[in-house]
């Protein structure tokens, strides 16, 4: 470690002039929408709670909040398959029963209700 101490002792320190930023050169922070307004807009939606939580962050204006909400709605619709038909048939027809199977089922039902099978 003596090498490091020698390198530090031999280093030349240059002083720099202070940088002065005038008001014209200063970058103004972007105005943000009040968190209460963001919460109000997000809570007015019918989104699931997890989506509402994801949307609670800083936004520049109401238009950006609306855009984020629309994007989240599209995401949830795609995720859940919203708008797609379901339970509309499309399943295979059951195979028709043979006479032997029909008689067997009928006799089983007759026995269950206490009647004489055929």
Percent of the chain as helix, strand, coil, to the nearest 5: 50, 0, 50
pLDDT tens-place string over residues 27-86: 656 668 899 999 999 999 999 999 999 999 899 899 999 999 999 999 999 998 888 877
Q: How far is the CA of 39 from the CAs of 51, 72, 97, in angstroms? A: 12, 15, 61
Report the alpha-carbon distance of residue 92 to residue 20 in Å, rounded: 79
Domain boundaries, the chain: 30-81
Model pTM score: 0.50
């Amino acid at each position: 470690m003596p090498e490091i101490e020698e390198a530090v002792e031999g280093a030349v320190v240059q002083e720099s002039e202070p940088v002065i930023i005038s008001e014209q050169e200063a970058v103004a922070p972007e105005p943000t929408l009040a968190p209460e307004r963001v919460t109000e807009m997000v809570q007015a939606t019918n989104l699931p709670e997890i989506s509402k939580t994801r949307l609670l962050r800083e936004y520049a204006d109401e238009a950006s909040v609306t855009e984020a909400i629309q994007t989240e709605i599209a995401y949830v619709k795609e995720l859940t398959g919203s708008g797609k038909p379901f339970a509309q048939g499309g399943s295979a027809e059951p195979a028709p029963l043979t006479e032997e199977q029909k008689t067997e089922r009928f006799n089983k039902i007759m026995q269950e209700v206490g009647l004489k099978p055929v």
